[in-house]
Structure 1
Amino acid sequence: YLLVNPKERPVLLVESVLCPTLIRDTVADVLFHHFEAPSLLFAPAHLLSLLPLGTQTGLVLDCGYKEALVVPVFHGVSVLKAWQAAPLGAEAIHLNLQRLLGSEAALDGGEKLEKRLVPESLCEDIKVRACFVTRRARAAAYAAAAAAAASSEDTPSASSDPEPRPVDFELPLDGGRRLLSVPGRVRELACEALFEPDSDGVSLPALLLDSLLMCPVDLRAPLASNILVIGGTAMLPGFNSRLREELTALLEQPRYRQLAGLAPFKFHSPPGKANFIAWLGGAIMGALEVMGVRALTREQYRLSGDRMPDWPEFFHGSLSSQEEAAKGLERR
């Protein structure tokens, strides 16, 4: 598809810091043996995302499909002891959207939408076209209305929704033969799955604050002033504003009171969309001289026994010592 000769092109692969070793070894095996790439470099997405900003320090939140991952970076070094992850991504929004659609959405003619008629592709379409992240005050008003309805053993109604109410959204189904009416409150509440604490108190803002708590005290202030949010889910309208509100509100809890001096939290505005900022950093790194210094060559891969080493092992010179040992055997 690229119409390039892979034997002449070094490869840089943007990966998650939680990428399984089996996947890395398999990709390296294919690139070196099948495509005969001259060199390969696996680079963590959270590090590359800071390159387009011109900074080496930041608290990076990667919110994708399966999970949200928080990794602090200080002067280009990942503080791995403080990473946090939770299954709070697009999949959680889709599950919440399926539940809301099954109870409140309707087809034309008033027919209720069965849950089996809400596939993943439809949830994705509705989320991208119509859903948004509401303000914290409106989310609290919705929660209060739901609690009042639960105490009276009634179902929440549109009459109890805060004003102004979002307009309903109509989505054509079956090639336009039917219309699905998505209520405004569903559009507004679908993303609450990311910000409502679960039974363990885990939410997106809690992940960020827990990560800061695990960092050394002298790193917390610069990290809180350099928050970067990446990932496709972070492109939802109102995402960063709600996250900032929730972070400030959580500081009032006893668990996070020692972080109160870090407010106000400051977010970066990257020069690109949140879903490809890591790729943009990879493109920058691929054009730098450091690519040739840090990449693993095909010869080094062969001398290591066709094994992809971890990055600390590679940078501390274990491969170079293996190479020298192999050259000594050849001389003998």
Structure 2
Amino acid sequence: MSKIVVVDNGSFSIKAGFAGEPLPRVCLPNCIGKVRRRERIYTCDQIYTLNEYFSHHPFSEGLLIDTALQSDIWKYTFNKLNINPLECTILVTEPFLNPTPLQHSLSELIFEDFQFESAIISTCPQLIPFAFTPIQIPNATSEQDINPCYLVLDCGYQCCNSVPMYQGTPIESGCRRLDIGGYYLDLLLKNFLAYRQIDLSQNAFLVSKIKEIACYVSTDFEKDLLQFSSDKHGDRSLDHWVKLPEPSSSLSKSSQFYNEECIAPDPNEFISELPEELVGIQGMYNKGMKMSQTQFVKLSTERITIPEILFRPSDAGFNMEGISEMVVTSIKSCPIHLQPLLASNILVSGGSSKFRNFHTRLQMDLTQMLPSGWEVNVRKADVNPQYVAWSGASIWSSSPGFMGYTTSRRQYHEAGKN
């Protein structure tokens, strides 16, 4: 039996490993980097050794449009896994509602460029439920009354998708997409840092890591904003300082900072006193300061205003509903008898849902927006939200009968793109 490779091919990062394992072997940036006036191309995690670079992604607006670039990234990734595609089966993710021409391009990449022995292409909403334990329907009288409905909320880098499903099949009338994700939050944070402290416009992944370390979702935005305002005249205990990584040509040393799992500390437990090494740093910042001139950046109200854009896009000038409203619209666009079942089984995944309090805020919003008699249950998987789709894929691909769903290389060449 061939080895089964599982690849969650996201627009921000590529997670890859083997079927049946709890976590991916590698999680790499799904991009390449180039430095001005240098010919060398830095692939995936090689960009971690750079202070400044221009990044190029195979994805645009949540769709895989550059398969040639994706091919180079896959080669690097598969070398990390030490596999021979000719002897492997691959389970790979594709964007939800992927256009047919792009589906064909992905199939060509798998079978013609890499010549995998067999393959199956699936969407994240189809795989994510495998990472969650089935639950009973509300007020069930029997342990056999498993809820056949669930709503998958996948919060990604370039967009967020709300996909209601019944017995594993998407309910098309309720599918919704929010064209805001981690990329836009990073862009706003990058602009703030450039204006106030430091120019990181050519280090996108460092900005994203700063966001992950310092930002959190507020459960009472107006109240918390007032606390930040009053704190300006106090001990600044709500501010958060992020120590930047020291430049290093060592890939293993540079990767350690980016691969470390972290989450913004609970503001209620934050130590009010600054570490000794930070004393006197406040006030050092000037507009246009370069990364090499300082080791720290400070975030204040941005800690909550940046993630708030997911819930209130209008704050950043976007004329669209927020993520909570999108979920409500998604549920209410489904058959009426399924709506309470969907509300009671909301499965959340994706890197943009990693913020502290994200699930709590979503639960609070939906409870207020949906009928009072409904049970609202926003669920969080046991793994890092960034790995939920990969984890679900790993579980499914290790189950009996999985190979019956795959297409072999021979079948592909006999049938062609159809």
| 3-state SS, counterpart of residue 309 of structure 2 | helix
| 3-state SS, counterpart of residue 268 of structure 1 | strand
**Aligned to 1:220, which of 314, 328, 339?**
339
**Aligned to 1:59, which of 140, 147, 151?**
151
In structure 1, stretches of 5+ residues that fail to align are 104-111, 146-155, 252-258, 310-332
Q: Does 1:284 align with 2:284?
A: no
Task: Report if aligned partners of 2:150, 2:164 keep a CA contact under 8 Å in 1.
Answer: yes
1:206 corresponds to: 325
Task: Report if aligned partners of 2:94, 2:123 keep a CA contact under 8 Å in 1.
Answer: yes
| 3-state SS, counterpart of residue 42 of structure 1 | strand
Deviation at 1:171, TM superposition (A): 3.4
Deviation at 1:99, TM superposition (A): 4.6
1:77 corresponds to: 169
2:361 corresponds to: 242
Query: Given the superposition, is the C-alpha separation of residues 165 and 219 from structure 1 closer, same or farther in structure 2, using an over 3 Å criterion?
Result: farther
2:119 corresponds to: 40
Task: Report if aligned partners of 1:92, 1:194 keep a CA contact under 8 Å in 2.
Answer: no
**Cα deviation code 1:120-161 (max 9, x no counterpart):** 3342132021111111x2x12367x6xxxxxxxxxx955589
Task: Report if aligned partners of 2:150, 2:165 keep a CA contact under 8 Å in 1.
Answer: yes
User: In structure 2, how many angstroms separate the alpha carbons of the residues matched to 1:7 and 1:121?
Assistant: 33
Runs of at least 4 residues off by over 6 Å: 160-164
Q: How does 1:1-332 map to 2 (within 5 A)?
A: 1=79, 2-55=81-134, 57-101=149-193, 112-113=196-197, 119-135=203-219, 137=220, 139-141=221-223, 157-158=229-230, 166-172=238-244, 177-198=293-314, 200-249=319-368, 251=369, 259-261=370-372, 263-304=374-415, 306-307=416-417, 309=418
Deviation at 1:21, TM superposition (A): 3.1
**Which one is further off, 3-12 or 66-75?**
3-12
User: In structure 2, how many angstroms separate the alpha carbons of the residues matched to 1:247 and 1:162?
Assistant: 35
TM-score (norm 2): 0.59
TM-score (norm 1): 0.73
Deviation at 1:26, TM superposition (A): 2.3
Task: Report if aligned partners of 2:231, 2:238 keep a CA contact under 8 Å in 1.
Answer: no
Query: Given the superposition, is the C-alpha separation of residues 75 and 162 from structure 1 closer, same or farther in structure 2, using an over 3 Å criterion?
Result: farther
Deviation at 1:66, TM superposition (A): 0.5
Matched residue type, 2:170: S
**Cα deviation code 1:63-95 (max 9, x no counterpart):** 011010110111111112211101221122123
Query: Given the superposition, is the C-alpha separation of residues 40 and 159 from structure 1 closer, same or farther in structure 2, using an over 3 Å criterion?
Result: closer
Deviation at 1:174, TM superposition (A): 7.5
Deviation at 1:273, TM superposition (A): 1.4
User: In structure 2, how many angstroms separate the alpha carbons of the residues matched to 1:216 and 1:172?
Assistant: 50
**Which one is further off, 197-206 or 225-234?**
197-206
Deviation at 1:266, TM superposition (A): 0.4
Deviation at 1:210, TM superposition (A): 0.7
User: In structure 1, how many angstroms separate the alpha carbons of the residues matched to 2:387 and 2:346?
Assistant: 17
User: In structure 2, how many angstroms separate the alpha carbons of the residues matched to 1:90 and 1:273?
Assistant: 16
Q: Which has the larger radius of gyration?
A: 1
User: In structure 2, how many angstroms separate the alpha carbons of the residues matched to 1:57 and 1:162?
Assistant: 50
**Cα deviation code 1:159-202 (max 9, x no counterpart):** 58999961331434875641444243222222111111436451
Task: Report if aligned partners of 1:141, 1:161 keep a CA contact under 8 Å in 2.
Answer: no
Query: Given the superposition, is the C-alpha separation of residues 236 and 157 from structure 1 closer, same or farther in structure 2, using an over 3 Å criterion?
Result: closer
User: In structure 1, how many angstroms separate the alpha carbons of the residues matched to 2:406 and 2:167?
Assistant: 20
Task: Report if aligned partners of 1:94, 1:124 keep a CA contact under 8 Å in 2.
Answer: yes
Task: Report if aligned partners of 1:142, 1:161 keep a CA contact under 8 Å in 2.
Answer: no
Task: Report if aligned partners of 1:221, 1:262 keep a CA contact under 8 Å in 2.
Answer: no
In structure 2, stretches of 5+ residues that fail to align are 1-78, 135-147, 248-291
| 3-state SS, counterpart of residue 386 of structure 2 | coil
| 3-state SS, counterpart of residue 106 of structure 2 | helix
User: In structure 1, how many angstroms separate the alpha carbons of the residues matched to 2:93 and 2:246?
Assistant: 38
User: In structure 2, how many angstroms separate the alpha carbons of the residues matched to 1:119 and 1:166?
Assistant: 26
Matched residue type, 2:309: A
User: In structure 2, how many angstroms separate the alpha carbons of the residues matched to 1:161 and 1:101?
Assistant: 22
Query: Given the superposition, is the C-alpha separation of residues 164 and 115 from structure 1 closer, same or farther in structure 2, using an over 3 Å criterion?
Result: closer
Task: Work out the percentage of aligned pairs sharing the same amino acid.
Answer: 23
User: In structure 2, how many angstroms separate the alpha carbons of the residues matched to 1:63 and 1:267?
Assistant: 14
Matched residue type, 2:307: C
Task: Report if aligned partners of 1:100, 1:190 keep a CA contact under 8 Å in 2.
Answer: no
Counting strand residues as a fraction of each chain, which structure ranks higher? 2
Matched residue type, 2:212: V
Instruction: Please report the RMSD computed on the Cα atoms of aligned residues, expressed in angstroms.
Output: 3.0
**Which one is further off, 66-75 or 267-276?**
267-276
User: In structure 1, how many angstroms separate the alpha carbons of the residues matched to 2:406 and 2:101?
Assistant: 19
**Cα deviation code 1:242-264 (max 9, x no counterpart):** 11122233x2xxxxxxx414644
Matched residue type, 2:389: A
Matched residue type, 2:111: F
